[in-house]
Amino acid sequence: MSWNEWIGWAFVWIGVFFQLLGALGLVRMPDVYTRMQTATKAATFGVLGISLGIAYLSASSVWILKSAVFALLMILTNPVGASTLIRAAHKLGIKAYTKDGEAHVRF
């Protein structure tokens, strides 16, 4: 394997690691707000790592362009979608988890 392949696979595995952390965060976090934050960050960083690895591994400029467009769309749309879902959860009256039982979330 060449250095280009090693670097490309390293980015792919970093992306997979972030995706696994996001899945673990969905199980471990106590309420919808922290779960959404964990899932959004992990999905964004995971997809960026995988896309960068694919772009680095491919020799075709078409794949590099596709990976760049996909990564850009994820950067732009993932936070907007998450904030929309969190706002909807807040409007539905879903309370944030606290140890004392009081919700301290203000929007």
Per-residue pLDDT at 97 exceeds 80? no
* Main-chain phi, psi angles of 59, to 5 degrees: -95, -10
The pTM for the full model equals: 0.78
Residue linked to tokens 């929007």? 107
pLDDT for 77: 92
pLDDT for 102: 60
Whole-angstrom distance, CA of residue 82 vs CA of residue 32: 11
CA angle 35, 52, 84 (to 5 degrees): 30
Whole-angstrom distance, CA of residue 73 vs CA of residue 3: 29
Please state the separation of Cα 19 from the chain's center in Å: 7
